[in-house]
Amino acid sequence: MSEPTIKQVRAYTVRGGGADYHDQAEGHWIDSQIATPMSKYPEYRMTRRSFGLNVLGTLVVEVEASDGTVGFAVTTGGEIGAWIVEKHLARFIEGKQVTEIEKIWDQMFNATLYYGRKGVVINTISCVDLALWDLLGKVRQLPVHQLLGGPVRDELVFYATGARPDLAKEMGFIGGKMPLVHGPAEGDEGLQKNLEHLAKMRSAVGDDFWLMYDCWMSLDVNYATRLAQGAQAYDLKWIEEALPPDDYWGYAQLKRDVPKGMLVNTGEHEATRWGFRMLLEMECCDVIQPDVGWCGGITELIKISALADAHNKLVVPHGSSVYSYHFVITRHNSPFAEFLMMAPKADEVVPMFNPLLLDEPVPENGRMAASKLDKPGFGVRLNPDCELSRPYQH
């Protein structure tokens, strides 16, 4: 039976939240002082927009089939991603059958190997891949999770990432992950402030609620080890992305040195099965956290997840809205999911890619029934009020 073919791929950009969720207005918790690899420079310490964390913007990829069905997806990628789609990747997409997802992925990856492998090129490939899975789901009239083998549980449970784990507990989440504020450049005084904040949050949430620190690549092994040792008193559940992504050796050391029982997690800025093979085979972490919009898409995350499963490791994808929910609900080794609190004060649940997607499901009382994910594809629509621009055409 001949399947519909892909008639056209189009790439758009949009600013202001959406998939580039760091692209927020001033005063948002996600742009408050947060430790980063740039914090050693005082002029770039107080906000992440100051060093350009929001420069890319959102990439939107649409794939239109010969029968008129349109699939789409969004990720962090902006104009660079749009150029890569229109000027390079389109040739591997247009004319293919909607079922040739694996072949399209392999051609996109190998054709960009000389300038890609990680970062915005893999973000872009991920976005095309997600759009293709959305298209296939819409052509088959099935949600993506059904194309992946179907749910292994009736609902998703979430931890919340944001500045207010105390409020996250009240909203029914299973835990709260806070951004680390002070990095090594602020010395022992900053380390003490990090521990005092953790202590304050622990007394606010009580003993039976997970608390985690997200260190966003900002530390060195010694600082991270001392932070972990100090945090043990407050039952820190995991220390996340303590080191730069390429420091596999440092992660292996940190994992050996943290207090027994504390998890070392990382992976949101890692890409492809080869990057995660390094994390797994070098014993770098307890839980890998690929972002499906940054690691290579669903097609690559299937491979990454199977590799992790063989290593008996959990895969808890970095929050990426419906794109991770449809995956997590189908995997035994993904027992819970991340929800990023995108309200400016982290005091209410709003859709993660707000305002870009319509019908974007959100957790209720920290949970989401599988039935909330039953529309075809990823079950979301682009918000027509968000003005897209198409900077390049092929």
Ligand X SMILES: C[C@H](O)[C@H](O)[C@@H](O)[C@@H](O)C(=O)O
268 in a labelled binding site: yes
Among 18, 137, 143, 179, binds ligand X (CB under 6 A): 179
Site string for ligand X, 224-263 (x = CB under 6 A): ----------------------------------------
Measured from the CB atom, the residue of 75 and 161 that comes closer to ligand X is 161
By the rule CB under 6 A, 317 interacts with ligand X? no
CB of 63 to ligand X, least distance (A): 27
Nearer to ligand X, 112 or 161 (CB): 161
Is 293 a residue that touches ligand X (CB under 6 A)?
Answer: no
Tell whether 49 is in a known binding site.
no
Query: According to CB under 6 A, which one of 62, 100, 268, 270 is a site residue for ligand X?
Result: 268
- The pair of three-digit structure tokens given for residue 226, joined into one six-digit string: 């001392």
Q: Is 140 annotated for ligand binding?
A: no
Shortest CB 392 distance to ligand X, Å: 28
Q: Which of 318, 326, 372, 375 binds ligand X (CB under 6 A)?
A: 318
Residue 151, binding choice from ligand X, Mg ion, none, Cβ under 5 to 8 Å by partner class: none
Identity of the residue, 216 or 325, whose beta carbon is nearer to ligand X in the bound complex = 216
| Shortest-Cβ-distance residue relative to ligand X | 179
Site track for ligand X across 329-358, x = CB under 6 A: -----------x------------------
Contact 176, 211 (CB under 8 A): yes
Q: If binding is defined by CB under 5 A, does position 214 make contact with Mg ion?
A: yes
Structure tokens that stand for 240 in this block: 């996340």
Q: How far apart are CA 393 and CA 326, in angstroms?
A: 31
Task: Give the one entry of Mg ion, ligand X, none that residue 23 binds, where binding means its C-beta sits below a cut-off of 5 to 8 angstroms depending on kind.
Answer: none
Nearest-10 Cα torsion for 362, 334, 194, 363 = 10
Under the binding rule (CB under 6 A), the answer on residue 216 touching ligand X is yes
Please pick, among 145, 269, 318, 326, the residue that the annotation labels catalytic: 318
Q: Does 62 bind Mg ion (CB under 5 A)?
A: no
Q: Rounded CA gap, 120 and 126, in Å?
A: 9
> Under the criterion CB under 6 A, does residue 161 sit at the interface with ligand X?
yes
Shortest Å, Cβ 318 to Mg ion: 6
Our answer to whether residue 318 is catalytic in this structure is yes
Selected from 11, 14, 30, 262, the binder of ligand X by CB under 6 A is: 30
Secondary structure (H, E, C), the chain:
CCCCEEEEEEEEEECCCCCCCCCCCCCCHHHCCCCCCCCCCHHHCCCCHHHCCCCCCEEEEEEEECCCCEEEEEEECHHHHHHHHHHHHHHHHCCCECCCHHHHHHHHHHHCCCCCCCCHHHHHHHHHHHHHHHHHHHHHCCEHHHHCCCCCCCEEEEEEECCCHHHHHHCCCCEEEEECCCCHHHHHHHHHHHHHHHHHHHHHHCCCCEEEEECCCCCCHHHHHHHHHHHHHHCEEEEECCCCCCCHHHHHHHHHHCCCCCEEEECCCCCHHHHHHHHHHCCCCCEECCCCCCCCHHHHHHHHHHHHHHCCCEECCCCCHHHHHHHHCCCCCCCCEEEECCCCCCCCCCCCCCCCEECCCCCECCEEEHHHHCCCECCCEECCCCCCECCCCC
- Judged by CB, which is closer to ligand X: 238, or 378? 238
295 part of the interface to ligand X, by CB under 6 A: no
CB 288 within 8 A of CB 312: no
Site string for Mg ion, 120-149 (x = CB under 5 A): ------------------------------
Q: How far is the CB of 276 from Mg ion (least distance, A)?
A: 15
* Cis check: omega of the bond before 384, within 30 degrees of 0: no
Q: Residue ranges for the binding site for Mg(2+)?
A: 214, 240, 268
Active site (catalytic) residues: 318
Q: Residue ranges for the binding site?
A: 22, 48, 214, 240, 268, 338
Q: Which residues bind Mg ion (CB under 5 A)?
A: 214, 240-241, 268
Q: Which residues bind ligand X (CB under 6 A)?
A: 30, 34, 161, 179, 214, 216, 268, 318-319, 340
